[in-house]
Amino acid sequence: MESIGRTLTTAMVGIKALTDHLGSDEAFARSVVDAVELIGESQGRVVVSGVGKSGHIGRKIAATLASTGTSAYFVHPTEASHGDLGMVTSQDVLILLSWSGETAELANMLTYAKRFNVPIVSICANRDSVLARNSEVPIVLPKVQEACPHGLAPTTSAMLQLAVGDAVAIALLERRGFSAEDFKTFHPGGKLGAQLRLVRELAHEGAQMPLLQTGRPMSEALIEMSSKGFGVVGIVDDTGKLVGVITDGDLRRHMSGDLLQQPVEAVMSRNPRVIRGDVLASGAMEFMQQHKVTVLFVVGDGGAPVSILHIHDLLRAGVV
């Protein structure tokens, strides 16, 4: 337990050192901004590379960039030296990771980049290293203590590389105006894909909606509620606008001998909670939980119901 606590504390100290470095070292702050601008203005893709733990971090950075709107992929330096450099063009940007900045396996990539004018963003911790000196944008990280008691296994240093890579990726996301709808395009599957689906994709339309016009008797409302199976019926006026809903709770509150003969507007709850079809499924779930409802009518611009959404639709889709 002591070892675990020490490792986590070391990690927090490392992140704080990186944050402090951003505020106190103008050259470091400028380099991160320059990296974002260089990548944002490039016409090609981002090619990420590194060896060992830096390589693993590089793969994660490439994946994050690709999933947030920046075309990116990872190339291992060894594979690059055996033909994969042919995928890199002068329109691309290289992100090369090496904590020491002296990784020998990156030498061929540096030579290729210089020959074909491919700009390099490096992430290292040595401003005087070969990698930093040969980069258009060297991002030089602060020296930090590794969590490894021998100071050998890359732990804190790898985390700082990843943090900077994530910072660049998110800055690019915001620079491009990358939306949740865009994000959904790259994440159609899994729980995240479910969260990013829109209400209109899950809601029931047309004859499946339980609807009645004002003036109709409650006897028809009960039939509509029972036949459609949503536990609610929407009430619309002569223009088609949703003006109220009748739920099981409304039935209990108005229980009397003449309930079935009463007009629906005498029983309905007015100004019902509604939702729009372009709301994310995760937002609909949050809205339902916040207002303690299980069914929502989806309305259009004029307030007319276009579909209906039940909480079970969200749960079946994997939204939790």
What structural domains and CATH numbers belong to the chain? 2-178 (3.40.50.10490), 199-316 (3.10.580.10)
Residue 84's identity, in one-letter code, is: D
In the structure encoding, which two tokens stand for residue 316, read together? 């079946």
> 199: buried, middle or exposed (CB in 10 Å: 19+, 13-18, 0-12)?
buried
Concatenating the DSSP letter of every residue in 95-106 gives EEE-SSS--GGG
**What is the pLDDT, as a whole number, of residue 280?**
86
CB count, 10 Å around CB of 285? Answer: 19
d(CA 272, CA 234): 9
Q: Distance between CA atoms of 46 and 205, rounded to whole angstroms?
A: 44
CA-CA distance, 95 to 118, in Å (whole number)?
10
pLDDT for residue 184: 65
Predicted confidence (pLDDT) per residue in 14-51, tens digit: 899 999 989 998 999 999 999 999 999 999 999 999 99
Structure tokens at 33: 């901004």
Q: How far apart are CA 140 and CA 22, in angstroms?
A: 11
CA 186 – CA 183 distance, rounded (Å)? 6
Q: Which amino acid is present at 212? A: L
In which residue ranges of the chain is pLDDT below 50? none
Q: Give the pLDDT of residue 172.
A: 94
- In angstroms, the CA 271 to CA 181 distance is 30
- Residue recorded with tokens 């949703």: 242
48, β-bridge pairs: 74, 95
pLDDT at 318: 82
User: What pLDDT score does 282 carry?
Assistant: 85
- DSSP string spanning 11-66? HHHHHHHHHHHHHH-HHHHHHHHHHHHHHHH-SS-EEEEESTHHHHHHHHHHHHHH
Per residue in 246-297, pLDDT (tens digit) is 998 889 888 888 889 999 999 999 999 999 998 888 889 999 999 999 999 9
pLDDT of residue 193: 66
Q: CA 251, 253, 257 angle in degrees (round to 5)?
A: 70
Question: Is the distance from CB of 131 to CB of 108 less than 8 angstroms?
Answer: no
Could you tell me the two tokens for 237? Answer: 């006026």
pTM of the shown model: 0.66
Looking only at the bridges linking them, the beta strands covering 269-270 and 242-247 are antiparallel
Whole-number Å distance between alpha carbons of 320 and 316: 10
Tokens coding 307: 């579909």
* Cα(41)–Cα(252) distance, integer angstroms: 63
